[in-house]
Structure 1
Amino acid sequence: MTVKLDFEECLKDSPRFRAAIEDVEGDVNELETRLEKLVKQCNSMLEAGRTYCQHSKSFVNGLRELGHHCSEDKTMGDCLEKFSKKLSIILNAHEELIEATQKSVRMKLQSFVKDDVKRFKDVRKEFERSSETLETALGRNAQAPRGKQHEVEEASLALLNARRIFRSEALDYVLQINVIESRKKTEILMAMLSLMEAQALFFQQGHQSLTELEEYRRQLSDEHTQLVLNSAREKRDMEQRHAAIKKKDVSYDDLIMDFSPDAPNGIVMEGYLYKRASNAFKTWSRRWFSIQKNQLVYQKKYKEQPTVVVEDLRLCTVKPCAEQDRRFCFEVVSPSKSCLLQADSERQQQGWMSAVQNSIASAFQERREDTLSPRERCSSVSAGSVNLVGGEQSNSGCKALEEVQAIPGNGHCCDCGEPAPDWASINLGITLCITCSGIHRSLGVHFSKVRSLTLDSWEPELIKLMCELGNTAINRIYEARIDEITIKKPHPSSPRQDKESWIRSKYVEKKFIHKLPETGRAPPLRRSSARRNRATTQEKPGTRPVLKPKPSRATLPRLTGLNPSEIMKNSFDSHKDDEDEEDLSGLHPGALLYRSAALQHFPVMADALAHGADVNWVNVAEDSRTPLIQAATVNSLAACEFLLQNGANVNQADSIGRGPLHHATILGHTGLVCLFLKRGADYNAKDIHQKDPITIAVDSANADIVTLLRIAKMNKEMREMDGFAQSGDETYHDIFRDFSQMASHNPEKLKRRSADIKIP
């Protein structure tokens, strides 16, 4: 222990001793003040720490409760659970730190102030008292008269006692000074050492707890980075979908109506309708109607039990109601009651009536199919389209389903990939699932014409058209740039909104097709020998001039990501030894459609239409012929059907007044004549020689074509007569159906019977 004051020095009571005592007393007073302040600060720190721990525990409990709420999301649930546990461990260690600080700092320092410093002050008071007594005794001793012996003795005795007491108190005071100086060092250092050890233990426990999560934190950080990227991508998709929806008409509610007989939730149709009450007031109420489980039901709120309007749709009928003052009304009539409903628009009215009618048909169909196999079910659906051609029975519904799905890529939905699609877009040549077909239907027939592969009857030319294209070929056109963009293609379980956004971007906005470049050349397009031979039976070599675009219209080079040679590579490889080639690299979309129609290259035709080709483009260099006339001259039934389904004008004539029907009649293409007549061709149109198709057919002695033209004319006359429309239509459709079957399956039976015919 270091000696602050010497004991021998205190016996002398020298000025040096007194000065040392004053210094020590000043130090002790300053130490007491600072220690008292430090103890107060420590108390405040401890109170704040306890408050922090209390609020932190509440925060950790909130994290734990949030983790329980998000337990369905495994990533969030695990993250919140693990982190809340570790934070709880750290908070417990923090509480231990607070208690250690309480014991090692506050209590020790407070004890030093209350005990050691107080004892020092008490000893100092005794020292000061004995010092004053000594001063008094010294004064009396000095003042004692020499002549008074007894006073001298009393003064001397008092001085001796006072000096003895003073020296004892002085020694005690010096001892206390040295003791407090020593304890000051030990107590403060011990308090600080204990505090640092508690802090080190706290941080060590926290570090250990967080180190255990190091691998998990690294994994979570990687997941978070991926989530940020996905979130940015989804945000872009959402913004694009938002922009697409904002572009819709304000009456977009009409577009989202969709009859879905195979909907997974069993609701085939739903939406708001007004319902007239059956009470005396006849009030109208807006309710949410739906067709589900072969019933028509409605409800006011989502959690309400639906009210059944029609128990069994098979027992009811639906019809428009024009007797009411309100617009867009229709009536659902059952044996027990009648329900009057009102839609918001004429389109919604027609949609709901059609949905009820289709539900009635589906209900009857399901009942028949309960005991049928899938193939028998397909046969029963299309039984109305069975025809006898050449002794063979053709089932159009079953044939369409089997042949179309057999095309590579058609076994899955073209847009979402759902397996076994049973719907199709006949102008695009693709197969679709029920959900995507509804979205295609909402685009409008100028974008997509939807038909069921099982519920609708299929003409043979439509089946041939579907087999010429397919999902793989069309996706190579409309998804050519899918790898260059960040939009994700939907999958079968994607929400309907995602599928709708994708389909609109793909077919309406055409975001994924290759753009026409400003420079470049495409490889030449070759015509296979088989098709060339078919074409040469009607064309004389060298009579057709080289295709030249209009002088006033710039010719765009063709170098798309889906160039013609790539599209038809498989079909060309088998004819490499016997083929000629035709360079289409400099053609703009309209001219490309024109030339590819003559070459019967369907994917190239689809590519041209995707790039904005006018389906009725006119080639002024070749008598103002159209792509439809080109397809007719090579007797391509499927190519003509493809152009007609995409809006080709069946009556658009060339520069000499001949339309597609004229050319088909002149060349003796009976199947095409049948097709054009079914699509509304004018059999009375005359060319510059004042000859109509009937006259041309009579001159060429083609009995089949004459028969078709005269039946079409007679059918129109019968339709204009009261009482004969129905029978006339039946006869007309029966004959034309037979000719369509024969043109598709037995074209050799429709070959020209006459010799070479001179064409005026």
Structure 2
Amino acid sequence: MTISVDFEECLKDSLKFRASIEGVETEVTELEVKLEKLVKICNATLEAGRIYSTNARQFVNGIRELSGHCKNDEMMSGCLEKFSNSLSNMIDQHTTLIEVIQKSVKQHLHSFIKEDVRKFKETKKHFDKSSEDLENALNRNAQAPPKKQHEVDEATSALLTARRSFRHVSLDYVLQINVIQAKKKNEMLQFMVSLMDAQSSFFTQGFNTFKSIEAYKKQLAEQLHQLVLNSARDKRDMEQRHATIKQKDVFYDDLAVEFNIEAPNGVVMEGYLYKRASNAFKTWNRRWFSIQNNQLVYQKKLKDNLTVVVEDLRLCTIKSGTDTERRFCFEVVSPSKSCMLQADSEKHQQTWILAVQSSIATAFNERREDNYSKLERTSSMSTGVLDFSDEARPGKEKGLEQVQAIPGNAQCCDCNEHLPEWASINLGITLCIECSGIHRSLGVHFSKVRSLTLDSWEPELLKLMCELGNSTINRIYEARIEEMTVKKPHPGSPRQEKEAWIRAKYVEKKFIHKLPESGIRLRRCSLKRNQRTNTLEKAQKPEKPPKPFLKPRGKTLSSNSGVNDKEASNAESCDELRDLHPGALLYRAAALQNLPVMADALAHGADVNWVNASDENKTPLIQAVTPGSLVACEFLLQNGANVNQMDIHSRGPLHHATIHGHTGLVCLFLKRGASQTAVDENGKDPITIAIDTANADIVTLLRLAKMNEEMREAEGVFGQAGDETYNDIFRDFSHMASNNPEKLKRKSHELRTSTL
């Protein structure tokens, strides 16, 4: 043990001894102050730790309560329960750490201050008193007169006693000094070792606790990543649906008033109606009505029991109300009572009346019998049997694989992000989710966005996507980016940069090859026309024709493409697609079924409904009908072509498709709203033309479309059933036209005779 103060010096009571004990006293005083401060701070820290543990336990209890709330979700409840147990274990270990530190402080620092330092101070008091007594005895001995022996003896005796006592106390004091100097090291080291052991144990146990759930955390992280992707996809879908509905020019009532006789949940129709009370006050109350289980019922709140208005719909009738104070009323009358109801609009009223009537008829099985009779009438229109095999219905996945296999379609057309899941159907390109949102903001007149994975795709749309593709469209819309040294955005570019690029590319069309400012007109050779008096204007060939204007790939114009046989042969040597006005270019390319050139013409401002005054006022859509190009017609329709625009003979695309016997195009035009009642200059509508040409399939389609229209306009009960049959048959025709067109080249030579 290191001796701070020597015992020999103590006996001498030398200056060195006095200086040593003064240094020790100062050091012990400072040590006491610092230890008391440390103990105070430690106690405050431990108290804060106890408060933290208490609040943390409340937090864990809250997590457990949340776990109970999510008990129906196995993943969420399991995650919350497992993590709350781990956190609770950590809190227990933290509480143990606080107790260990508290015990260590009490055993070492606190006891050292209260016992050893206090004993040192008491010994110091005895030493100071003994030192003072010795000083007094020395002074008294020095002052004793030599002539007074008794005083000398007393002074000498007192000095010996004081010196003996001082030596005894000073030895004890020196011992206490040396002991406390050694013990302070032990106590402080033991405290720190105990503290660090407790901390090490706490963190080791915490590490082991979290290591035990490490595999579960990784598994949960993967699930979380998938949840984030699903959430983003759901958000995109909701935004798309939101934007689509906002673009529809309909009122809420038009969307809300619908009924379904064959609803899977048995609820034919439901919605709010006002009901007049049967009391003397005749008050009106708004209630939620529904038609279900052959009954008319209502309720005020979802949890309320259903109140039955009509027990059996077969025993009631319905009629428009005669209440003079309110509009849109109708009355449900049964043998026992009647109920006056009020809708929000006239359409709402008529739909409810029709729904009740349909439910009444369904109860008597009239709907099934009427459907059979309609199917028999539909089948009697054709003399053959249509083959609606599975081959005519290509799988969705196969079609999407074809789209994604087109050159350039594996990356976003505008930012090159891999595996795009969206498409612009009028441009024929694939897009990533962010670029698709920007395209959607441009408006449908610039880009019509559809999901490759979530939306259903018609076969003609899939073929359209396969005819174009990102590489083809970018050769048109990005033709000048190299010479302009424009930097194309990449997948990580900010949305603002992508939006500016897309607007410059498709709206402002900054990167396409510009036409000369003077314009380009359709150039023709000087020919004498026998049947026409109008000729196309001549124009000089542009100094630098646009690159994307391609030649017709070895095809020549036929008489059906707007120029007769003689003119076609003469024009073949001097007409090139690159020399045409954009409208005329679109017109010629439509006849040649060249979709890239058609897209090029539209990019250069061609009017999709451009009229060729020198060729019977035909439009590009009519030109595409002649060779029977389903894809070219679909492309023009997606880009705003008018399906009812007539030529000089009052014939629209539907007339021409009927004349040429293109069943798939007839189906396409009918689906796009073509008028089947319009007559040409000879007074013939499309169905008459189909009968004259003995085309059984087209007659079937036209008659079915006419029947469907009549059922929609009729006030009868079964108009909706015709819609389902109509849609099913037209869907089968569309699949066959896209995948097995040879099956639609069926004619019946007996049709005209039997009809006449």
Which interval holds the TM-score relative to the shorter structure? Answer: 0.5 to 0.7
After TM superposition, give the deviation of residue 192 of structure 1 in Å: 0.9
Residue 660 in structure 1 maps to residue 684 in structure 2: yes
Partner of 2:66: 66
Deviations 1:63-102 (A, max 9, x none): 1221221233333223222221111111111111111111
Alpha-carbon distance in structure 1 between the residues aligned to 2:688 and 2:374: 30
Q: Does 1:280 align with 2:267?
A: no
Where do residues 1-150 of structure 1 align in structure 2 (5 Å cutoff)? 1-150=1-150
The match for 2:392 among 408, 416, 420 is 408
Establish whether residue 556 from structure 1 lines up as the match of residue 546 from structure 2: no
Q: Is the 8 A contact 1:522 1:558 kept in 2?
A: no
| CA distance in structure 1 between the aligned counterparts of 2:309 and 2:392, rounded to whole angstroms | 46
- In structure 2, relative to structure 1, the CA distance for the partners of 1:260 and 1:328 (3 Å cut) is same
Encode CA deviations 1:204-244: one digit per residue, 9 max, x unaligned: 11111112222222333333333333333333333333333
CA shift for structure 1 position 277: 1.7
Unaligned 5+ residue runs, structure 1?
A: 369-376, 388-392, 416-474, 489-497, 567-582, 682-742, 754-760
1:382 and 2:372 matched: yes
What is the DSSP-based 3-state SS (H/G/I as helix, E as strand, rest coil) of the residue aligned with 1:331?
Answer: strand
User: Which of 625, 634, 644 is equivalent to 1:616?
Assistant: 644
Equivalent in 602, 607, 632 of residue 658 of structure 2: 632
Structure 1 residues 123 and 678, CA gap change in structure 2 (3 angstroms): closer
- The question of whether the paired residues in 1 share the 8 Å contact of 2:621 and 2:633 is answered with yes
1:290-369 equivalences in 2 (<5 Å): 290-322=290-322, 324-365=324-365
Q: For residue 747 of structure 1, what is the amino acid of its counterpart?
A: S
Q: How far 1:120 sits from its partner (Å)?
A: 0.8
Q: Quick one: distance in 2 between partners of 1:618 and 1:353?
A: 40
Deviation at 1:662, TM superposition (A): 9.5
Distance 2:331 2:427 in 1: 45
CA contact (8 A) 2:427 2:599 kept: no
> What's 1:594 paired with?
622
Q: Distance in 2 between matches of 1:343 and 1:631?
A: 45
Query: Is 2:290–2:296's contact at 8 Å kept on the other side of the alignment?
Result: yes
In 2: Cα distance, 1:282 partner to 1:544 partner:
81
- Report what 2:228 is aligned to: 228
1:452-467 aligned at under 5 Å gives the runs none
Alpha-carbon contact 2:276-2:285 (below 8 Å) kept: yes
Distance across 2 between alignment mates of 1:187 and 1:667? 114
* Structure-2 change in CA distance of 1:2 and 1:222 (3 Å): same
> Which residue identity does 1:168 align to in structure 2?
H
Contact map agreement 2:269 2:291 (CA 8 A) in 1 = yes
Indicate the residue corresponding to 2:445 in structure 1. Answer: none
AA partner of residue 386 (structure 1)? E
CA distance in 2, matches of 1:558, 1:164: 135
Secondary structure at the counterpart of residue 365 of structure 2: helix
Aligned residues: 577
| Aligned position for 2:674 | 648
Residues 201 and 632 of structure 1, relative CA distance in 2, 3 Å threshold: closer
CA pair 148-91 structure 1, distance change in 2 beyond 3 A? same
**CA contact 2:126–2:169 (8 Å) conserved in 1:** yes
CA contact (8 A) 2:625 2:653 kept: yes
Moved more, 123-132 or 250-259: 250-259
User: CA 1:653 to 1:313, structure 2 compared with 1: closer, same or farther past 3 Å?
Assistant: closer
Give the C-alpha shift of residue 403 in structure 1: 5.8
**Cα displacement (A) at 1:641:** 6.2
Aligned partner of residue 319 in structure 1, secondary structure: strand
The whole-number CA distance in structure 2 between the counterparts of 1:218 and 1:328 is 61
Query: Contact 1:275–1:284 at 8 Å: present in 2 too?
Result: yes
**Residues 583 and 601 in structure 2, CA contact (< 8 A), matched pair in contact too:** no
Distance in 1, matches of 2:424 and 2:549, equals 20
Structure 1 residues 313 and 628 mapped into 2: Cα distance closer, same or farther (>3 Å)? same
Displacement after TM superposition at 1:167 (Å): 0.6
Q: Pick closer, same or farther for the CA change 1:240–1:183 going to 2, 3 Å.
A: same
Moved more, 154-163 or 47-56: 154-163
Task: Judge conservation of contact 1:261–1:359 (CA < 8 Å) in 2.
Answer: yes
Conservation of the 8 A alpha-carbon contact between 1:520 and 1:558: no
1:599 & 1:188 partners in 2: Cα distance?
Answer: 101
Does structure 2 retain, via aligned residues, the 8 Å contact 1:35–1:113?
yes
Does the aligned pair in 2 maintain the 1:328–1:345 contact within 8 Å? yes
How far apart are 1:484 and its partner, in Å? 5.0
**Shift in Å at residue 284 of structure 1?**
1.6
Kept in 1, the 8 Å contact 2:272–2:286? The answer is yes
Q: CA deviation at 1:481?
A: 5.4
The 8 Å contact of residues 53 and 95 in structure 2, kept in 1 or not, is answered as yes
In structure 2, the CA distance between the partners of 1:217 and 1:669, relative to structure 1 (3 Å rule), is: same
Structure 1: distance between partners of 2:567 and 2:252: 49
- Identical counterparts, % of pairs: 46
Conservation of the 8 A alpha-carbon contact between 1:650 and 1:659: no
CA deviation after TM superposition for structure 1 residue 195, in Å: 0.6
Post-superposition Cα deviations, 1:108-146, rounded to whole Å, max 9, x if no partner, equal 211111111111111111112222222222222223332
* Equivalent residues of 1:299, 1:307 under 8 A apart: yes
Contact 1:558/1:586 (8 A) holds in 2: no
CA distance in 2, matches of 1:343, 1:187: 90
For 2:392, give the aligned amino acid. P
Letter in 1 for 2:225: T
- Which residue of the partner structure matches residue 164 of structure 1? 164
Change over 3 Å in CA distance of 1:630–1:217 after alignment to 2? same
Distance across 2 between alignment mates of 1:584 and 1:153:
137
The alpha carbon displacement at 1:345 in A equals 1.1
| Compared CA separation, residues 153 and 106, structure 1 to 2 (3 A) | same
8 A Cα contact 1:520 1:559, kept in partner: no
Aligned to 1:206: 206
283 and 525 in structure 1: CA distance in 2 versus 1, 3 angstrom threshold = farther
Cα distance, 1:751–1:365 mapped onto 2, change above 3 Å: closer
Which of 1 and 2 has higher RCO (CA within 8 Å, sep 6+)? 2
Aligned to 2:527: none
1:314 Cα offset (Å) = 2.0
What's the counterpart of residue 446 of structure 2?
Answer: none
Instruction: For residue 263 of structure 1, give the secondary structure of its aligned residue in structure 2.
Output: coil
> For the residues of structure 1 that align with 2:749 and 2:23, how far apart are their CA atoms?
133
Instruction: Tell me: CA distance 1:408–1:606, structure 2 relative to 1, closer, same or farther (3 Å).
Output: same
Paired AA for residue 259 in structure 1: F
Per-residue displacement from partner, 1:25-60 (whole Å, max 9, x unpaired)? 111111112211211111111111111111111111
Question: Does the Cα contact within 8 Å between 1:134 and 1:163 map onto a contact in 2?
Answer: yes
Change (3 A) 1:3 1:312: same
Aligned partner of residue 270 in structure 2, secondary structure: strand
Q: Kindly indicate whether the alpha-carbon contact (under 8 Å) linking 1:329 and 1:342 is maintained by their aligned counterparts in 2.
A: yes
Kept after mapping to 1: 8 A contact 2:658/2:689? no
- Hey, what does 1:747 align to over in structure 2? 748
Q: What TM-score does the superposition give when structure 1 sets the normalisation length?
A: 0.65
Q: Quick one: structure 1 residues 483 and 253, their matched pair in 2 at CA, closer, same or farther if it must change by over 3 Å?
A: same
Counterparts of 2:394 and 2:317, CA distance in 1: 37
Q: Cα gap change, 1:595/1:255 in structure 2, threshold over 3 Å: closer, same or farther?
A: same
Does the aligned pair in 2 maintain the 1:271–1:289 contact within 8 Å?
yes
CA distance in 1, matches of 2:299, 2:30: 84
1:658 maps to amino acid: N
Task: From the superposition, tell whether residues 625 and 9 of structure 1 become closer, same or farther in structure 2 (CA, over 3 Å).
Answer: same
How far the C-alpha of 1:633 sits from its partner, in A, is 2.5
Quote how far apart the aligned CAs of 1:476 are.
Answer: 12
